């Protein structure tokens, strides 16, 4: 059930044209779901995140832990106005973010976070974890 909830959340963040059209399996209410089919969908989404597949949104996968910041993305110098963090989903709730060596950047639902060309966005979990977790970050390119 946790995987189905995570899949539903993740699909809510992906562009429908990519998420639905290319998923190996799609389901409707009442359809039986096999674990192998659900796992295939997760493998497909993992491959999108790993390759940074381009589309209306740029998606990045990052490993997160509470003990230190990990790189999420470095915006290419060729990006004209930077990238806007449009949404994220993590296994640890709201992450703590940092751009380059700046102090922590607080995120509020109504704030817009722009990562400028050449800047690097780092993230870590705000809650104390004993294990690492995965986060998916979606950016609108300006």
Residue 117, domain CATH = 2.60.120
For residue 45, the enclosing domain spans 2-51
Check whether residue 62 and residue 119 sit in a common domain: yes
- Residue 107 clears pLDDT 50, i.e. is over it: yes
Same domain, 70 and 45: no
Give the chain's domain count: 2
What is the SS3 string spanning 1-65? CHHHHHHHHHHHHCCHHHHHHHCCCCCCCCCCCCHHHHHHHHHHHHHHHHHCCCCCCEEEEEEEC
Residues 35 and 72 in one domain: no
- pLDDT of residue 71 exceeding 90: yes
pLDDT value at position 48? 61
pTM for this structure?
0.59
48 or 30, which is more confident? 30
Q: Which of the two residues, 87 and 105, has the higher pLDDT score?
A: 87
């Amino acid at each position: 059930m946790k995987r189905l909830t995570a899949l539903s959340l993740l699909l809510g963040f992906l562009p429908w044209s990519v998420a639905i059209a290319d998923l190996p399996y799609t389901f409707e209410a009442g359809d039986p779901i096999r674990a192998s089919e659900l796992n295939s969908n997760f493998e497909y989404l993992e491959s999108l995140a790993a390759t940074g597949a381009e589309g209306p949104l740029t998606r990045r996968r990052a490993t997160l832990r509470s003990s230190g910041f990990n790189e999420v993305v470095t915006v290419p110098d060729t990006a004209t106005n930077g990238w806007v963090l449009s949404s994220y989903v993590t296994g640890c709730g709201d992450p703590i973010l940092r751009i380059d060596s700046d102090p922590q950047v607080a995120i509020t639902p109504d704030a817009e976070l722009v990562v400028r060309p050449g800047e690097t966005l780092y993230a870590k979990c705000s809650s104390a974890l004993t294990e690492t977790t995965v986060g998916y970050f979606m950016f609108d390119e300006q």
